[in-house]
Structure 1
Amino acid sequence: MTASYRIGQIVPSSNTTMETEIPAMLNARQRIRPERFTFHSSRMRMHKVTREELEAMNRESLRCAAELADARVDVMSTACLVAIMAMGNGYHRQVQEELSAIARANHCEAPVMTSAGALVEGLKIMGAKRISLLAPYMRPLCDLVVEYIKSEGIEVVDSIAFEIPDNLEVGRRDPARLLEDVKKLNTTGVDVVVLSACVQMQSLPAIQLVEDALGIPVTSTAVCTVRSMLDHLGLEPIVPDAGALLSGRYPRVGGEHA
Structure 2
Amino acid sequence: MTPAHAYTMTQTTPPQIGLVVLQSDETLEDDMRRLIPHSVRLLVTRLPSAREVTSETLARMEHHLSDAAALFPRNLAFDAVGYGCTSGTAQIGVERIATCVRDGTRTAAVTEPVSALLAACAALGAKRIALLSPYIESVSDTLRRVLADNGIDAPVLGTFAEAEEAKVARIDGPSIHAAALQTLENAQADALFLSCTNLRTLDVVPDLERAAGIPVISSNLVLGWHLLQCAGVIGADVLPGDLLKGA
* TM-score category (smaller protein): 0.7 to 0.9
1:83 aligns with 2:88: yes
1:19 aligns with 2:18: no
Q: Give the direction of change, closer, same or farther, for the CA distance of 1:233–1:244 in structure 2 (3 Å limit).
A: closer
Amino acid at match of 1:84: T
Of residues 52, 56, 61 in structure 1, which corresponds to 2:60?
56
Of residues 98, 108, 122 in structure 2, which corresponds to 1:96?
98
- Normalising by structure 1, what TM-score? 0.80
* Residue number in structure 2 paired with 1:255: none
* Residue number in structure 2 paired with 1:205: 203
Q: Percent identity?
A: 21
Contact 1:218–1:244 under 8 Å retained in 2:
no
1:245 aligns with 2:240: yes
Runs (5+) with no aligned partner, structure 1? 249-258
Contact 1:175–1:204 under 8 Å retained in 2:
no
* Residue number in structure 1 paired with 2:14: 4
Per the TM alignment, residue 220 of structure 1 is displaced from its structure 2 partner at its CA by: 0.6
Per the TM alignment, residue 39 of structure 1 is displaced from its structure 2 partner at its CA by: 3.3
Structure 1 stretches of 4+ moved >4 Å: none
Q: Give the direction of change, closer, same or farther, for the CA distance of 1:166–1:71 in structure 2 (3 Å limit).
A: farther
Which has the greater radius of gyration? 2
* Residue number in structure 2 paired with 1:172: 170
Q: Give the alignment's Cα RMSD to 1 decimal.
A: 2.3
* Residue number in structure 2 paired with 1:190: 189
Q: Give the direction of change, closer, same or farther, for the CA distance of 1:130–1:3 in structure 2 (3 Å limit).
A: same
Per the TM alignment, residue 3 of structure 1 is displaced from its structure 2 partner at its CA by: 6.2
Runs (5+) with no aligned partner, structure 2? 1-10
Contact 1:12–1:46 under 8 Å retained in 2:
no
Write out aligned runs for 1:112-131 (5 A): 112-131=110-129
Per the TM alignment, residue 244 of structure 1 is displaced from its structure 2 partner at its CA by: 5.2
Name the CA distance, whole Å, in 2 between partners of 1:20 and 1:44: 19
Per the TM alignment, residue 237 of structure 1 is displaced from its structure 2 partner at its CA by: 5.7
Per the TM alignment, residue 93 of structure 1 is displaced from its structure 2 partner at its CA by: 2.2
Q: Give the direction of change, closer, same or farther, for the CA distance of 1:200–1:71 in structure 2 (3 Å limit).
A: farther
Amino acid at match of 1:77: G
Of residues 161, 164, 172 in structure 2, which corresponds to 1:163?
161
Q: How many pairs were matched up?
A: 230
Per the TM alignment, residue 71 of structure 1 is displaced from its structure 2 partner at its CA by: 6.0
